[in-house]
């Protein structure tokens, strides 16, 4: 059934903005069902609101049904325009709030997975200080792959991110936060689990099935993976942990992340005095960003938590 195209919108109302926010959440969640928890409303209500938005715009924005959820070409263009509009509204609200020196608004953060087990917890402490200064601040954390974090900061979907620092991308600013050590692990059930390190030859170690990350890493760290027989890959550290815990692969994990499994006797580090690397993690923001009081307050707290 085609949608009757109305006259062009004379103005964007509060109702339209509300519908666009819902549309953004649906797209980013990948469908109506997944967006229910995020939006706090049922699938039928979401469907009705999407119908309202399509009627308002006179465009079919998405396909939904047994084949799953997907955006139409018009839907992709409306989504990009909605991101620009909502970002501009948030910038306006932040700038007006800055006149009153009262923290309100949103802070959207993109994080590399499994930083919460770092013992110094700088991000956690900075978020606590931000919430103390601005009780009304709405914080959104998205756990996504490092490459997606950088792209999200570049296109304005994220205010700030934390990523492993490889090469510097044009248009982004990086501030060092952490240094973490990664060791080479295998799990109980793997042929090397009970082999003494002194008896473990490099040739045998390098011939085992191993896991490589698909996110960017510095060249000197990539060399550690090039020495291994990488027959599997993962987009994040949790994916690597899943494969290592099968007992069929070896792979590098941050020691703070692997520590619990080591204590449980499920993982062991292989030749830890030789097979390790240290990786720097950095906060990343967009160069030339517009004033954003919430973001600047968070960055100040992040710099102060040593």
Distance CA 295, CA 109 (A): 10
Q: Is the pTM of this model over 0.85?
A: no
pLDDT at position 100: 53
Residue 204 in tokens: 């045998």
pLDDT at position 96: 67
DSSP 109-150: EEE-TT-TT-TT-HHHHHHHHHHHH-TT-EEEEEE--HHHHH
Residue for token pair 């409306």: 78
Q: What is the dihedral of CA 10, 39, 121, 148, to 10 degrees?
A: -60
Distance CA 250, CA 241 (A): 9
- Helix or strand (DSSP H, E) at 87: helix 73-100
Helix, strand or coil for residue 103?
Answer: coil
Answer whether 215's CB lies under 8 Å from 235's CB. yes
pLDDT at position 13: 82
pLDDT at position 1: 44
Answer whether 18's CB lies under 8 Å from 52's CB. no
Give the angle 188-190-191 at the CA atoms, nearest 5°: 125
Q: Which residues of the chain have pLDDT under 50?
A: 1-2, 6
pLDDT at position 229: 97
pLDDT in tens, 110-144: 988 777 777 777 888 899 999 888 888 899 999 88
pLDDT at position 97: 64
């Amino acid at each position: 059934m085609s949608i009757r195209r109305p006259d062009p919108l004379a103005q964007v109302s509060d109702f339209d903005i509300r519908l666009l926010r819902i549309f953004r959440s649906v797209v980013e969640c990948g469908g109506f069902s997944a967006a229910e928890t995020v939006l706090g409303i049922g699938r039928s209500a979401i469907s009705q609101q999407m119908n309202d938005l399509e009627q308002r715009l006179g465009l079919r924005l998405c396909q939904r049904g047994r084949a799953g959820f997907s955006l139409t070409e018009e839907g992709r263009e409306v989504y990009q325009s909605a991101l620009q509009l909502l970002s501009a509204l948030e910038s306006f609200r932040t700038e007006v709030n800055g006149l009153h020196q009262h923290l309100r608004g949103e802070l959207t953060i993109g994080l590399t997975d499994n930083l919460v087990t770092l013992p110094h917890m700088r991000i956690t402490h900075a978020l606590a200080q931000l919430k103390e200064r601005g009780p009304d601040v709405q914080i959104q954390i998205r756990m996504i792959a490092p490459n997606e974090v950088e792209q999200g900061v570049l296109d304005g979907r994220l205010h700030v991110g934390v990523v492993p620092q490889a090469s510097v991308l044009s248009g982004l600013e990086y501030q060092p936060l952490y240094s973490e050590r990664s060791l080479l692990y295998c799990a109980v059930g793997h042929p090397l689990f009970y082999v003494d390190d002194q008896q473990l030859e490099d040739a045998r170690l390098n011939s085992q099935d191993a896991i490589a990350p698909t996110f960017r890493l510095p060249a000197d760290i990539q060399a550690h993976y090039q020495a291994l027989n990488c027959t599997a890959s993962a987009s994040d550290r949790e994916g690597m942990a899943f494969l290592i815990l099968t007992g069929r692969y070896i792979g590098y994990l941050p020691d703070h992340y692997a520590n619990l499994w080591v204590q449980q006797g499920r993982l062991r580090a292989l030749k830890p005095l030789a097979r390790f690397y240290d990786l720097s993690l950095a906060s990343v923001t967009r160069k030339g960003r517009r004033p954003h009081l919430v973001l600047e307050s968070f960055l100040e707290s992040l710099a102060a938590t040593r």
